[in-house]
Structure 1
Amino acid sequence: MKVKKLKTSFLNFDDNLISKNALAVVKTLKKNGYQAFLVGGCVRDLLISVTPKDFDVATNATPNKIKRIFKNCRLIGRRFRLAHIRYGREIIEVSTFRSASMPSNKNVMMDHTGRIIRDNEFGSVEEDAIRRDFRCNALYYDPAKKKIWDFTDGLDDIQQKKLVVIGLPDNRIQEDPVRMIRALRFSAKLNFSLDKNLKKSIQRNSDLLCNVPSARIFEEFKKLFLHGNAEKVFLLMQEYNIFNKIFFDTYKEIKQDKIFNNFIIYALQDSDRRVLLGQPVSPMFLLGVFFWASIKRESLKIKKRKKCSDARSIVLAAITVIDAHKRKISIPKRFSSLMIDMLSMQPRLEIATKKNAKYLISQRAFRAAYDFMLIRTKVNEFDEEIASFWISTQSE
């Protein structure tokens, strides 16, 4: 495969933004006789004047050899063996060049749908480039020579603000259906358009998301919705028939109820604003937003069957709805329990008394419940006068 090697002095590339720790990892690997590059999203981001959030390194050193070189290294992953090299709070992720995967390779395992469930077959940098998902992510930076290696015309795609899959889109999506989610995330984050063949492939293959482990979907959910592009992502997921594959009940609700759809949009806009301001965001809050209509509907059914308070019926309804979705998205208990606390506090917020306020404000979920209430107020689901009481009380 022919590679283009371009000096960064001819490109819009600011190497002053590169982590010193990442440069140290590359330098150390080279000192020990291995090839090493900065690779992927960090190189792409540096080319579009975005400060990378993390830095990845690719090398021909195997994971075990990397571990021998770096005392601060931990090997992770079964599906893809990776090395994490820790410098205080920063982790530099190091991967070994992977070969073009074939089902016959003993270190490559696929399931019945063609999804790769384990891949530890190592290869050359050229093969590694072909294995990456999108051409704009298959760029390798050599800090010593200040050159970018481009095997797939990724630089052209960045200039054209276009997202193109390496290889045949259907094959690459079958190997890893999460690539559909990643495509929408990158499109929203980078404001890149999807290549027409990729668009068609996503529309054809959206059902393959059902084969992805629910715990992995939760991890992708966090990447999708907690980084400042939640509203864009939500609209793209609906456009490409992805949202309903994960949040099937929510999808039905928004199709039936425009007010609930607006409620979600307001919540996503608020989340994006918080990210922009550097304020914390939590997956449990947006999961509560997505599940809210289904939980309200289920709580009404529960109240007809049992004699229980509004708060208790919401707790039971939330447990039911979360359980119904567990095959699609697995929510860790530390998030689901806080989400339930936040939602069950909604009827309690309707009691506007100082005594009640003192108690609720002391609860761990109060701030989230309060923010949730404010969004409900925007769609006239919560009394404005009571909301004003809470606004003044919590700021005292």
Structure 2
Amino acid sequence: MKLNERFSWLNALLSKLPGKTGKTAPQQKPIFTKITRENHSVSRKQISHNALKVIYRLQDGGYEAYLVGGCIRDLLLGKQPKDFDVVTSATPEEARRLFRNSRLIGRRFKLVHVQFGREIIEVATFRAHHSTHNELDQTSSKHAMQAESGRILRDNVYGSIEDDAMRRDFTMNALYYTTRGFAIHDYANGVKDIKARTVRLIGDPTTRYQEDPVRMLRAIRFAAKLDFTIERTTAAPIPDLADLLRDIPSARLFDEVLKLFLGGAAEQTFTMLREYGLFKQLFPMTDALIDQDDGFGLRFITLILKNTDQRIRQNKTVHPAFLFAALLWVPMVHYAHDIRHQGVPPIPAMIQAGLHVIDSQSAHTAIPKRFAIPMREIWELQHRLTVRHGKRTEATLNHPRFRAGYDFLLIREQAGEQLDNLGQWWSQYQQGNEQQRRQMLKMLNPQPRKRRRPSHRRRPSPHSKPSA
């Protein structure tokens, strides 16, 4: 018996149960279009060999299997996907048994990861919309659960490919590629929206955002990354629903922030997040201060994000600690300023302020310790770079975070902060030889004239005998 047949009687029974919770998305009828091989540009040569192996093994096991979502969208746009995801009629447990090199992950959304060296192929089971009833939440929480706000807490109700397409978020992600005939199955006019460069939600936007508020961030991310326009009814509820992000676990929002700002369109993403009132939900301290001090914070973050986009285009790495240090620099400086007014020296004040800001921010987007420590080091280097005398200069130059701290300093100056050409000095110091460096330090710290110590006659000890 096929999976959708196995669960159809259960879903039908549950739909008749009384009770109510938050809204669910209306059951929209799929608009199925089959796009044959000669009418689309996706070729097997562009698809991961390992993803094709997963599909063929699932099919050989008697299950349906398709490539799905973003990888199909990217191939249609002429982009090379980073990941290839597979969807199947097999349950996670059934798929797991087919692959020795796999493991089950997740509780809210159970998946199978099939590992081929460094490449992971993610395999998901066809999902259906969760039930709207409290009885289901109480008696079958292992399948689905929904909060009173409408947010889906667990989502392991299985169904058919048509069900799966309708519970996906955006039309451009409801695309399925089959190796049987090499056609694309389009269930929501996704290809049409891709051609129109439009981000459009499937179903009622308010309800879909209530089910999972992170969809608001995904709408921004796709629009910025792909240079698409968010469709009017999809965009309209976002400002009013932005505060729903407060209910999302901070660890999940940390991952979403990395996706937002490390996708190659950080500057545009930042502009759109502010436009729709989402940035203040992610970084409330920064948002409250960003337009103060003659707009320095806004200029600084904009330059940091431009730099981030440029590095990604050049296939260079961007450390999350550098990104978060920049996004939280303005509130850290303000807190450090307040602490110094209490008589605390600069470095201890910066340390105290950094700990406070990171701890406060972690309530919104968790910051793992492996990033929090280098963040504080980058901040502390901003003061150490101002201290240029003796061995301390070389110690600063040899600091493991020097390059990040130095780049950070240069962008502060580009944003208009007056630092007496400190960045230029460090640029010259790095390029100089040993003699030139000594000369640079001597010019900053001319040797004072040695003062002659006054001679003091040794006083005789009161116990010493007088000389004869």
* TM-score, length-scaled by structure 1: 0.96
1:76 alignment counterpart: 105
Q: 1:271 aligns with which of 289, 308, 312?
A: 308
- Measured in 2, the distance between the counterparts of 1:307 and 1:243 equals 32
**Please, which moves more after superposition, 123-132 or 317-326?**
317-326
Matched, 1:358 2:394: yes
1:304 alignment counterpart: 341
- Measured in 2, the distance between the counterparts of 1:384 and 1:305 equals 26
CA positional deviation for 1:306 = 4.3
Contact kept? 2:37, 2:181, Cα under 8 Å: no
Aligned to 1:346, what secondary structure does the other structure show?
helix
Contact kept? 2:296, 2:417, Cα under 8 Å: no
- Measured in 2, the distance between the counterparts of 1:314 and 1:68 equals 54
CA positional deviation for 1:127 = 0.2
- Measured in 2, the distance between the counterparts of 1:159 and 1:357 equals 56
Query: What is the RMSD of the two structures over their aligned residues, measured on CA atoms?
Result: 1.4
2:56 alignment counterpart: 27
Q: 2:428 aligns with which of 367, 372, 392?
A: 392
Q: 1:7 aligns with which of 31, 36, 44?
A: 36
CA positional deviation for 1:345 = 0.9
Q: 1:286 aligns with which of 305, 311, 323?
A: 323
Contact kept? 2:128, 2:159, Cα under 8 Å: yes
**Please, which moves more after superposition, 272-281 or 101-110?**
101-110
2:191 alignment counterpart: 155
2:409 alignment counterpart: 373
Which amino acid is the alignment partner of residue 28 of structure 1? R
Q: Deviations over 1:74-113 (max 9, x none)?
A: 1111110011110000000110000121133421111221
CA positional deviation for 1:200 = 0.7
CA positional deviation for 1:301 = 1.5
1:87 alignment counterpart: 116
Q: State which structure, 1 or 2, has the greater radius of gyration over its C-alpha atoms.
A: 2
- Identify, as 1 or 2, the structure richer in helix: 1
- Measured in 2, the distance between the counterparts of 1:358 and 1:205 equals 52
Aligned to 2:100, what secondary structure does the other structure show?
coil
Q: How many residues align?
A: 395
Q: 1:207 aligns with which of 232, 237, 243?
A: 243
- Aligned pairs for 1:38-77 (under 5 A) are 38-77=67-106
Q: 1:343 aligns with which of 372, 379, 401?
A: 379
- Measured in 2, the distance between the counterparts of 1:382 and 1:370 equals 15
Q: Deviations over 1:46-65 (max 9, x none)?
A: 00001001110000111111
CA positional deviation for 1:357 = 3.2
**Please, which moves more after superposition, 101-110 or 232-241?**
101-110
Which amino acid is the alignment partner of residue 79 of structure 2? V
2:444 alignment counterpart: none
Q: 1:134 aligns with which of 159, 170, 181?
A: 170
Contact kept? 1:14, 1:49, Cα under 8 Å: no
- Measured in 2, the distance between the counterparts of 1:132 and 1:36 equals 17
Which amino acid is the alignment partner of residue 236 of structure 1? M
Aligned to 1:86, what secondary structure does the other structure show?
strand
Contact kept? 1:63, 1:82, Cα under 8 Å: yes
Relative distance call for 1:103 and 1:314 in structure 2 (3 A) is same
Q: 1:262 aligns with which of 299, 321, 325?
A: 299
Which amino acid is the alignment partner of residue 250 of structure 1? T
CA positional deviation for 1:7 = 1.4
Contact kept? 1:352, 1:386, Cα under 8 Å: no
Relative distance call for 1:354 and 1:85 in structure 2 (3 A) is farther
- Measured in 1, the distance between the counterparts of 2:324 and 2:221 equals 18
Contact kept? 1:373, 1:387, Cα under 8 Å: yes
Aligned to 1:345, what secondary structure does the other structure show?
helix
Contact kept? 1:226, 1:282, Cα under 8 Å: no
Which amino acid is the alignment partner of residue 308 of structure 2? S
Relative distance call for 1:102 and 1:263 in structure 2 (3 A) is same
- Measured in 1, the distance between the counterparts of 2:166 and 2:248 equals 23
**Please, which moves more after superposition, 123-132 or 195-204?**
195-204
2:179 alignment counterpart: 143
- Measured in 2, the distance between the counterparts of 1:92 and 1:336 equals 31
